[in-house]
Structure 1
Amino acid sequence: MNLLFEGQTCYLRSLTVDDAEEMMELLLRNRDYWSVYEPRHRDSYFSAAVQREKIRESIYQARENREYSVGIFEYDTKKLIGHISVYSVKRMPFLSALVGYSIDEAYIGKGIATEAVKLMTVFGFEELRLHRMEAYVSPENEGSIRVLEKTGFRREGLLKEFLYINGEWKDHYYYAMIEKEF
């Protein structure tokens, strides 16, 4: 399934194995920035070979209707500036999924993450026919909290010591949107 979603500030498209080098470069550029809110990866993760395998796996997951991962691209340059996924897709009786995203540090504060989340939310509710979309976010990640709230997600609670990041168990907020709020 090749996905393409066009917005005003960016476009989203399915990644192919040809994007592995550019994905590796994106990850390397943001290695320190993203490590504040995400678990650290081994050095081998930052290779084109590993990224090719991850892309192949995401293609398989999309075929199986479990996960949809796409790149976030800048319009003018067609440069890969982030990635976003609708993952952990559950069918009845849940009809739910999680959304997760990361934007290149050089592009934060420009509305790109907000637009990407809106585009994937439309996909989740209109194409996948989900009833509920959810997201986890660090209480320290004020930018990502703003993105979720601007796109209509509501905070439903706090998950204590939810994710192990850089040697510590970190709390995360739990956000969600249900289809009638969409």
Structure 2
Amino acid sequence: MVRIEGDRCYLRTFIESDARSLSELLTNNKYYWAQYEPLHDDYFYTEDAQLRKILESMQLMRVNREYSFGIYTKGRNQLIGHISLYAIKRLPYSSAFIGYSIDERFTKKGIATEAVNHLIHFAFNELNLHRIEAYVSPKNIGSIKVLERAKFVKEGLLRKLLYINGVWEDHYMYSILQEDYNF
């Protein structure tokens, strides 16, 4: 298990016993998050499906291919989001993608920015990655602000990149390089 302490939140890699709280988080935010990501079938939101995803993520973590964390409030230890480094590639790329979602009730509080900064630090200092990439919908102003506060640079528009809820959606590509990051 990996745990990263922050000021207002902490990140902890998921373990089997997190399946219920993760399922509840996903269910509670199903339609809020569906503005920018696909709705899933009903099974996806079940505890069983999330347990399977956690077990898969734990295996991927063992071989340094993915790190999936819950975002928890400090003090109350409440799961309020999730954040991942995924599709980790070693040389000649030495890169990964970052993805995150915050419970609607905890948005606009700077928690996503804090979580992203902690994960960037982990990626560059612990995993020694060279580049982190993120896709973000041009409509997702909050997420764009998170990335830009974390010093990600917009590299361009990827036309009709993702099929989301019946429509092909454009996404911006953002990145941050290890050399751009102030440790």
Q: Tell me which interval the TM-score lies in, with the shorter structure as reference length.
A: over 0.9
TM-score by length of 1: 0.98
SS in 2 for 1:27: helix
CA distance in 2, matches of 1:18, 1:94: 34
Unaligned runs of 5+ in 2: none
SS in 2 for 1:93: coil
- The equivalent of 1:143 in structure 2 is 142
Deviation, structure 1 residue 76: 2.3
Structure 1 residue ranges, 4+ long, deviating more than 6 angstroms after superposition:
none
Deviation, structure 1 residue 35: 0.7
- The equivalent of 2:38 in structure 1 is 39
Deviation, structure 1 residue 64: 1.2
CA distance in 2, matches of 1:56, 1:45: 14
- The equivalent of 1:99 in structure 2 is 98
Deviation, structure 1 residue 175: 0.2
Which residue type is aligned with residue 30 of structure 2? R
Q: 1:41-89 CA distances to partner (integer Å, 9 max, x unpaired)?
A: 0001111111110000000010011100010001121010000000110
SS in 1 for 2:112: helix
CA distance in 2, matches of 1:130, 1:64: 15
Correspondence 1:118 to 2:117: yes
SS in 1 for 2:61: helix
CA distance in 1, matches of 2:145, 2:69: 22
- The equivalent of 2:21 in structure 1 is 22
Which residue type is aligned with residue 41 of structure 2? R
SS in 1 for 2:118: helix
Q: 1:8-44 CA distances to partner (integer Å, 9 max, x unpaired)?
A: 1100001111010100110111000001101110001
CA distance in 2, matches of 1:156, 1:14: 29
TM-score by length of 2: 0.98
CA distance in 1, matches of 2:45, 2:93: 35
Q: How many residues align?
A: 181
Which residue type is aligned with residue 160 of structure 1? R
How high is the sequence identity, in percent, across the aligned residues? Answer: 51
Unaligned runs of 5+ in 1: none
CA distance in 1, matches of 2:87, 2:14: 18
SS in 1 for 2:154: strand
